[in-house]
A and B are shown apart, each in its own frame.
Chain A
């Protein structure tokens, strides 16, 4: 690959980190040695590189001394990469002409047992950083124009709710539903907890709103055939059943997946479940209760005694579905209450493992107990036995609440409380959108707490119960969160993405197609330049994983920031000879092994000071007689490493309190 112009005026900042680095690494000598390098214009030591005052000084240096690249040798880039990229940017230097060198986590701390050698290693690391920055390129973020339309896949309550929100915020919406009717699991359903409204009524309400919104186009009996294009500008091909060969294409700035779940179907013989028997699933039972009027009967015989068996197909420590389905306890108890309210003289037995009527639904549990329902507890290892007789089902349970006494009852009907499982066909959507499926086979968000509706594929979002078991409220909440998130993104005209992507050297490429074969994101396509067919990268789609690079027989591919020049430069930098004047064992402690015992003294003082109760920074500073600025910097690092955590704000609403992690307030 072509040789790029190397940087000539590099600034190097080597951080003491208040002793965290300088206790072990001879930062002053390194500063002097590095300062002699030909292309280094500034070489400095700083007490805290991340401190505001130093950031200002760096900006001044960059501007006054016309620096063309900077290296900060300090903590792990995981902590401050963006801080210093920001510094570069504010000074008018391209943020990608900055390299952070990790001389703390991967040097001074890791080798605090060998401080003499830590300095040698640090020299190598810093020189590698200098070489890397000298070959670095000024990169610009990738700008993407977003189409203001969204394709929503799945018209259950979640998908319908999100479509309405998105349309009201001014976006075009195409809502695609596989079934002939919208509503998902709530289509045709009777009263649901907690409001007792009929499921179908909820569906009707949302459908009514959809009809009033011309921005929404709803396709039923339709599926997604293919997804092409890239972030911000997807093209979604939709196939409608019954119109053979007809595929319609829609542009989409973002895609929302709300494909929901499936009800668990018991295996033949599971708790006596057979075709046409007196053991039925929750779904069938709900339908039967809703459609019966004056009396409840099953197969011509009145139903007087019902046994509900909970957690069927769920919470299997050894089986496939390890999770709790969340809604089924409440659904079963709610149905039982419905039954008592509709029909007289019915006895109900609930054979459960744990009752999870969490939140406000606990009231339903209490109510069903008051109505006289009997609750019997079984253990996963000893499930109830169910034997079907002619008109009766015999159920035996070892009741955990009465020292596993075996109890026996004859029921007219056994209801298997079956929960929510991932859809059988979800792999198909996962493949088309390249979104990951978790071990539980539901779709995976990036982070369940911090980024709960985004997927690793930019601008493909999740909502509702396709992410895992959720009740209606929770499904709708996540769908609304996703629509707000989508709107926030596509309402902007352009968006910026990090430019860490693959680039192809058209001169070297001979189009063999190998890179295209391995790219799982379809980021590589064929183009013709100067009469030659070569590979090219669709930047917004490329993840910058680099998998295509070693595959190329012509070495025509590199990843921005990880070019041959940069990586090989680092290897050379590690290997450069260095002569340091270091007395062996001059500083640091020898032979310490793990644990907290050789954290910097100031950390130990802070930890001791916090051992009694949470304190504010001024209190800690006074307690250990150190300047509060110093305490602040150390506390920030300790916080990042979960040694301390914030404990709310003090009584005057003035300062944050800090406490040791895992210490009660």
Chain B
């Protein structure tokens, strides 16, 4: 087994923009915590709150949404939609006694390798402090 467990983070990325950014981090060996797992979707506005809640049920410590922000090719309202989803998740999380700080979002672009790694480092720190 892993010795000291670092917080487990589930990342929702997007096929065309943020996932390539995360790939870049790997390619350039810009390291982040190995307890980060990524699921890539067409658009961050398609994340269902029930998936987020499933992650917490399965012992994830945090959920990070690597969104396209204003670069989204589907909708100019993407940031607004994604924000609404996060609000809904936070509502459900609070009901279950999970800190709303355990979900985060940032725009990650297709070359955002360093920003992604530093978001992961930050979030890992925040989550470690929370528990």
Contacts and interface: CB of A to CB of B under 8 A. Distances in A.
Interface of A: 76-78, 102, 104-114, 117-118, 120-121, 124-125, 128, 436, 456, 500, 518, 520, 543-547, 549-550, 555, 559, 562, 564, 567-568, 570-572, 574-575, 579, 584, 592-595, 598-599, 641
Given A109-B29, A562-B46, A595-B28, A575 B58 contact: yes
Nearest to A124: B37
A78 B14 CA distance: 12
Given A520-B74, A545-B45, A575-B59, A110 B37 contact: no
Contacts of A518: 81
Nearest to A576: B58
B41 to A, nearest CB: 6
In order of increasing CB-CB distance, the 6 nearest A-B pairs are A546-B46, A105-B26, A110-B26, A545-B74, A117-B34, A105-B23
A128 to B, nearest CB: 7
A498 B22 CA distance: 25
B100 interface: no
A579 B58 contact: no
Chain A CB within 10 A, most for which of B19, B28, B46, B78? B46
B99 interface: no
Contact of A598 (B29, B32, B60): B29
B37 A550 contact: no
Contacts of A500: 42
B25 interface: yes
B48 interface: yes
Contacts of A545: 42-43, 45-46, 74-75
B62 to A, nearest CB: 13
B79 to A, nearest CB: 12
A574 B58 contact: yes
The contact size tier of chain B is 35 or more
Nearest to B13: A106
Given A111-B34, A594-B29, A598-B29, 4 more contacts: A110-B25, A543-B42, A559-B46, A562-B42
A567 B51 CA distance: 7
A570 to B, nearest CB: 6
A433 B27 CA distance: 39
8 contacts: A106-B22, A110-B29, A117-B35, A543-B74, A562-B46, A564-B50, A574-B10, A574-B60
B48 A555 contact: yes
B23 A106 contact: yes
B38 interface: yes
A264 B61 CA distance: 56
Contacts of A108: 26
Contacts of A111: 31, 34
A571 B51 contact: yes
Contacts of A570: 39
A319 to B, nearest CB: 21
Contact of B46 (A436, A550, A574, A584): A550
B85 A550 contact: yes
Contacts of B58: 571-572, 574-575
A128 B23 contact: no
A20 B41 CA distance: 26
Contacts of A113: 29, 31
B31 A110 contact: yes
Nearest to B74: A545
A471 B38 CA distance: 47
Nearest to A574: B37
B35 A121 contact: yes
B37 A105 contact: no
Contacts of B81: 518, 547
Contacts of B1: 579
A547 B60 CA distance: 24
A456 B16 CA distance: 13
A594 B26 contact: no
A594 B75 CA distance: 34
A106 B42 contact: no
A555 B50 contact: yes
B27 A109 contact: yes
Chain A CB within 10 A, most for which of B10, B26, B75, B85? B26
B39 A120 contact: no
Contact of A544 (B8, B22, B42, B55): B42
A450 to B, nearest CB: 14
B46 A109 contact: no
Contacts of B128: none
A368 to B, nearest CB: 44
B2 interface: yes
A546 B45 contact: yes
A133 to B, nearest CB: 14
Chain B CB within 10 A, most for which of A118, A128, A545? A545
Nearest to B63: A571
Contacts of B94: none
A433 to B, nearest CB: 15
Nearest to B22: A106
A109 B48 CA distance: 30
B49 interface: yes
Nearest to A121: B34
A227 to B, nearest CB: 19
A593 B121 CA distance: 14
A599 B27 CA distance: 9
Interface string B45-84: 1111111001100111000000000000111011001000
